[in-house]
Amino acid sequence: ITHSVEEALLLGERLIVMAPRPGRIHKEYNLPFAEMGVDADLREVKKHPDFAVKREEILEMIWDMEEEIM
């Protein structure tokens, strides 16, 4: 469990985005990046285009949910 999107993408096999009030699963992702990092430098994994796209997609989703509750 982490609150860091980047850490979750790098180390996790699954990422679950929780929605606020009531706490529930908003979206679930199966991630390939932890496997990629086994044989590669994690800095190289972070440079992968899919990593950047997924990170931005998830952050935008979280920011949008935060705006909705304010």
SS (H, E, C) 1-44: CCCCHHHHHHHCCEEEEEECCCCEEEEEEECCHHHHHHCCCHHH
CA–chain centroid gap for 14, Å, is 9
Write out pLDDT tens, residues 25-66: 999 999 999 888 777 788 888 999 999 999 999 999 999 998
- Given a cut of 90, whether residue 15 has pLDDT beyond it is yes
Beta-carbon count within 10 A of 24 CB: 8
Phi, psi of 19 (to 5 degrees): -95, 145
pLDDT at 36: 83
pLDDT classification of 12: cutoffs 50, 70, 90:
very high
Cα–Cα distance for residue pair 69/48, rounded to 1 Å? 33
Q: What is the mean pLDDT of residues 11-28?
A: 91
